[in-house]
Amino acid sequence: MIITGGVVGAISIALAAKTLVDTSSVPPPPKPYDVAMYEVYSALIPNTEESWLNRLIDPPPQEVLIRTETLAFQNSGINGAYGPSPEGRLVPEQRLKQGVDSAIADYLKRNTTILELQRKFNLPNYDLFTASEQRSINKGDASGGAFQEKPHGYERWIELSSVGFNQDQTVAVVYFVETRGSFWKAGYRMLQKRGGKWRLLANRVFSDVVS
């Protein structure tokens, strides 16, 4: 059998194209945890609303204060609004359930300890505050002066848990508490990494706590 050069070339191109497609479908290797978690935070904080309509009607201020200490099972946050577990509170599409379940398992392991967040957020305008600073303000304690000296104009405060990931870091689970004036809400969020960017996933149940 004689195979011409044109046929060989066509076969080579087809094989190369298949290899390219197969390679491109493989997710990149996981990043170090302290890099990946700030990517998730930086994607979540600009807007924690799952509903695009709510995001349109009531866009949050982009300037935000972020609490240094992460929320954990033994640390319920300033408002005492930390939920006990994401299990049963996160219901994704069926095709994403395995990834979300894996991220929840990682979340449960990581949130037994408190982390101290650093200035590694990719956000245009934010500052950090500690729980002790906020408690001092609430009690009218003069020692809270350091908190008062932070930049003015912040109408929004955020508290965050540690982030749980699935094995290949394509799905993430995180808990947050957001305070805006006298209003606050708290809840779990699921995110998926698509096209190199973290995006909110729709939750099929409403489990936020609002006050």
CB burial string 57-77: b at 16+ within 10 A, e below: eeebeebbbbbbbbbbeeebb
Question: Which pLDDT score is estimated for 196?
Answer: 93
Residue 95 confidence class, pLDDT cut points 50, 70, 90: very high
Taking the C-alpha atoms of residue 208 and residue 211, their distance in angstroms, rounded to an integer, is: 10
| pTM: predicted TM-score of the whole model, two decimal places | 0.78
Average pLDDT for 43-72: 83
Question: Which pLDDT score is estimated for 87?
Answer: 79
Question: Which pLDDT score is estimated for 211?
Answer: 80
Taking the C-alpha atoms of residue 194 and residue 21, their distance in angstroms, rounded to an integer, is: 16
Residue 197 confidence class, pLDDT cut points 50, 70, 90: very high
Taking the C-alpha atoms of residue 157 and residue 96, their distance in angstroms, rounded to an integer, is: 30
Average pLDDT for 98-122: 96
12-54 per-position pLDDT tens digit: 554 444 444 444 567 789 999 999 999 999 999 998 876 666 6
Say if CB 100 and CB 86 are below 8 A apart: no
Say if CB 159 and CB 117 are below 8 A apart: no
Cβ neighbours of residue 46 closer than 8 Å, sequence gap 6 or more:
60, 62, 123
122-167 per-position pLDDT tens digit: 999 999 998 787 666 655 555 545 555 554 568 899 999 999 999 9
DSSP assignment of 79-113, as one string?
TT---S-STTT----GGGHHHHHHHHHHHHHHTTS
Shortest CA distance to 68 belongs to which of 32, 108, 118, 111?
118
